[in-house]
Amino acid sequence: MTHIPHRLEVENISVAYGDNVILRDISFQVPHGAQIAVVGPNGAGKSTLFKALVGLLPLKNGRILIHGMPLGDHKDCVAYIPQREEVDWRFPVTVTDVVTMGRFNTRGWFARPNRDDHEAVARSLDEMGIANLAKVSISDLSGGQQQRVFLARAIAQEPHILLMDEPFTGVDATTQQVTLNLLDHLRQRQVTAIISTHDLNLAATRFETVMLINKRLVAFGPAKEVLSQENLQKAFGSSLLVMENGAMLVDECCPPDEDHHHP
């Protein structure tokens, strides 16, 4: 066969917390080295999708293939940067500890770091400009520094696919730029990157491919087509004010998928 496997194929997946089905029947394919922005309202299931993609949540239906093979065999090549609020930053470990964890998916948590590991960790800290924080406890970091520690851990893992959940939320312009620069480097290394964001402008201007979700896949494809007024209204409903040069969120109280009836 001459078929070249996509890096990531998601086929009809549904994901639930208990009986509460959040994602329904999501399918998409991400080719080698693509960079994709995932957008959708609060509660749309962006974080849920990422957790499913990295094997942290079971699938109710469907399957996920990486390099043409089921996820279970390939978790190591997927790095995941969670939304910062989801992490307990009081955990008593240093920056180096956290970044070193990026190296241990393959060998288990109790392996001893070898010279390659130490070098990869040092390189990643350098690349993120946080070598000076190596021995600092993660509880003492600012939001932007936390973000860089996550990025360093993901680089140290040397993934084929990188999932970043809202890396641009609550960081200053410098950290945002560090993150965007990293995306450029990853593109050169042919690393596939999937990034969730609430910044529709950034999604439209910086990413060629956009995924718009609200529990279901509303649209997936070239940014200009996906972020049409019609699609945005489908995903955000009345909570979105669409303006001539883009879109602006005005009110996130009533996601269109929930059954809100106004008198």
Ligand X SMILES: Nc1ncnc2c1ncn2[C@@H]1O[C@H](COP(=O)(O)OP(=O)(O)OP(=O)(O)O)[C@@H](O)[C@H]1O
Q: Which 19-48 residues touch ligand X, going by CB under 6 A?
A: 22, 40, 42-48
Residue nearest to Mg ion (CB): 47
Q: Which residues pair with 168 in a beta bridge?
A: none
- CA angle at 198 for the pair 228 and 64, rounded to the nearest 5°: 85
Q: Which residues bind Mg ion (CB under 5 A)?
A: 46-47
Please identify which residue in the block is written with the tokens 């924080």.
133
CB atoms within 10 A of CB 225: 11
Single out the residue of 178, 249, 257, 184 nearest to residue 217, CA to CA.
257
Site size with ligand X, rule: CB under 6 A: 11
Question: CB under 5 to 8 A by kind: which of ligand X, Mg ion, none does 48 bind?
Answer: ligand X
Residue closer to Mg ion (CB basis): 67 or 216? 216
**Residue 77: both structure tokens together:** 């090549």
- Regarding 17 and contact with ligand X (CB under 6 A), the answer is yes
**Shortest Å, Cβ 229 to ligand X:** 21
Smallest separation (angstroms) from Mg ion to the CB of 85: 9
Which is nearest to 22 in space by CA: 201, 216, 209? 216
- Which residue from 11, 5, 47, 7 is spatially nearest to 30, judged by alpha carbons? 7
CB of 195 to ligand X, least distance (A): 12
Decide whether 189 or 260 has the Cβ nearer to ligand X.
260
Where helices occur in the chain by DSSP H, the ranges are: 46-53, 95-101, 115-127, 143-156, 173-188, 200-206, 223-226, 229-236
Contact (Cβ atoms closer than 8 angstroms) between residue 77 and residue 5: no
**Least CB distance from residue 25 to ligand X, whole Å?**
16
How far apart CA 236 and CA 212 sit, in angstroms, is: 10
Give the nearer residue to ligand X in terms of CB position, either 49 or 155: 49
When CB distances are held under 5 to 8 angstroms depending on the partner's kind, the choice from Mg ion, ligand X, none that residue 17 binds is ligand X
Q: How far is the CB of 68 from ligand X (least distance, A)?
A: 27
Nearer to Mg ion, 40 or 100 (CB): 40
Residues that bind ligand X (CB under 6 A): 17, 22, 40, 42-48, 83
